[in-house]
Structure 1
């Protein structure tokens, strides 16, 4: 009975995923078909909806992403960042472009168990592909994927920053961020990213925390951040967390 119920749940998820896939825009569908993203359809749809909202409402600022993997969500963000806008945005992506660093003592067993699989070389890729963390010259592969979509990683409109976040993230005082996609799994990098970008988020800008429901350390870091910074509202918890920068009051 248990196996039957499990099979029915998987079948239901596949049907739901297929239905949601039809709602994705063409770029997101192409990214998904080329197996360039680990994000499930629900997360892709939520991410693209947020980009459309920011463009529609004229929320100023650049797009930042922490944790790129194969570059699928990066390509979506960069492709859609200027839709229906006269002011140009810029995209900044940050990643070690290799095997991710290990979790810390602040993370729970789920993170350490997952990292043990990665470190042992046993992690699975998408649809039978190699796991991205084992790919030689991952940076070059991501750049070529951008080019396949007509996007140039020119260091101006589109920039990829290779290395640890604490070594590569440098924000000028006037930096303004409309969208930040944080997809870095563990407690410490999530905490670092949230705290470093908070002052630079535009009003009504959004921070998307990908692993809020997947790893306890990520959730713990996000909840602590929200408790300490009342400027942000947790608008949604699923399929990932959406943190909206509240509008200033008293004007």
Structure 2
């Protein structure tokens, strides 16, 4: 990723009239699209463009009558693709590459099929934008028509895909044919997203997958997106912009809409806004923590919460706030950390081939004195009687506190390094209650963390059913095995 051209930002820095659902990581690759502008929807005469939804309508100024996916829709794409990092993805219809860029930035290997790519100016524009974003090498741009070109590409590359985005021709029978061919070459764990379900012809593709037994759902966005999924994968959760007066066209009335309850929506937003200065976790992982911990409380699973790797304390305080609001029984949140910086990594602890100490996040970094950080945010949220800081190396503190901690109803393992992660699981796994959830923060980022989790599986003769949160976070339930 070209960090100068693609910003990872807070949603407060988005342009006016843009919206991104809570719980989604936010990126801003706008600099990679110098011809992108906001246009008035009234210039388009396409009958299915929702003029009454006042989100920014982005277009390329060279062709103002065809819009890009909205900011919210682009982030559904990006956050969904994060679940498929390092896997194969296929996009049918890319226009000037705005959607392709968001998908590729999530770290998938992306094939893109669009007949307009045979036009030199469009191909060059798409390639330049992807190059500026630092993802061109992971994208295969192919000129051609679906479904024929999908068949050809699958045969030529012996390819199956895990993630699909269908945004090609919206006229029947094209969306249906796209859905049929995508299903044919879909992995067992797969997800397919559709754009522009405002158009009745497009829903034929989603209808087909629903009739084939896929799970389906609608995202209430500017142009309405649809998702179909199967296997060990879950779609991102989304909440429609509460400022809009939403409605569903008649041809979508039978579909479930992704929507958080008002209480959850407001509660999570308020918590995240408060803890943001005290956490390094992205919003997708914070949202996962919130959902998992809240469910533990509502299901009344017995035990305390434990976080190993608390740093500034924002996520521990969030867990404390959830206990305070939702728990039916007294619980404590044990927040374990050196609070004096990262311990020494080993040679296993690398990211993209770079040793941890050469990445800027090595030994001694992330120092967070208790009184200035976790204690302060706990006071702000009024949970200092719930959040218990445990200072020291895991290898030293966890054996001592294991008995006091007792049964664990929720475990957040954010140890980064191999040895730290092994210390967490070797000391605490047996304390975790059956069906309790465990979230691991650094599985996708640090090789050592990933190796530790799989080494522990082998030691115990188990294979965890891992659920992807984003490019690095995963979670699983104890006792739910492959």
Q: Same fold (TM over 0.5)?
A: yes
Q: State the number of aligned residues.
A: 230
Q: How far is 1:57 from its partner?
A: 1.3
Tell me, in whole angstroms, the C-alpha distance in 2 between the residues paired with 1:146 and 1:42: 22
Instruction: Choose the corresponding residue for 2:318, options 76, 84, 87.
Output: 76
Distance 1:183 1:215, change over 3 A: same
- Name the SS for the 2:278 alignment partner: coil
2:306/2:410 contact within 8 Å kept? yes
Tell me, in whole angstroms, the C-alpha distance in 2 between the residues paired with 1:111 and 1:212: 15
Task: Report 1 or 2 for greater relative contact order, CA contacts < 8 Å, sequence distance ≥ 6.
Answer: 1
Alignment of 1:1-251 (within 5 A): 7=6, 10-11=27-28, 16=75, 23=265, 24-32=268-276, 35-108=277-350, 110=352, 113-116=355-358, 117-118=360-361, 132-133=366-367, 138-142=369-373, 143-152=375-384, 154=385, 157-169=386-398, 170=400, 171-172=402-403, 175-229=406-460, 233-239=464-470, 240-246=473-479
Tell me, in whole angstroms, the C-alpha distance in 2 between the residues paired with 1:94 and 1:67: 6
**Counterpart of 1:126?**
none
Which protein is richer in helix relative to its size? 1
Which blocks of at least 5 consecutive residues in structure 1 are unaligned? 122-130
1:51-109 per-residue CA deviation (whole Å, 9 max, x = no partner) reads 11111211111000111111110110111124333311111111111221121133336
Which blocks of at least 5 consecutive residues in structure 2 are unaligned? 8-25, 31-70, 80-236, 242-264
Q: How far is 1:36 from its partner?
A: 1.2
Tell me, in whole angstroms, the C-alpha distance in 2 between the residues paired with 1:86 and 1:245: 21
Q: How far is 1:226 from its partner?
A: 2.3
1:103/1:112 contact within 8 Å kept? no
Tell me, in whole angstroms, the C-alpha distance in 1 between the residues paired with 2:320 and 2:269: 14
Tell me, in whole angstroms, the C-alpha distance in 1 between the residues paired with 2:287 and 2:328: 24
User: Could you say which structure has the larger radius of gyration?
Assistant: 2
Deviates more, 1:228-237 or 1:187-196: 228-237
TM-score calculated relative to the size of structure 2: 0.43
Tell me, in whole angstroms, the C-alpha distance in 2 between the residues paired with 1:183 and 1:20: 25
Deviates more, 1:205-214 or 1:99-108: 99-108
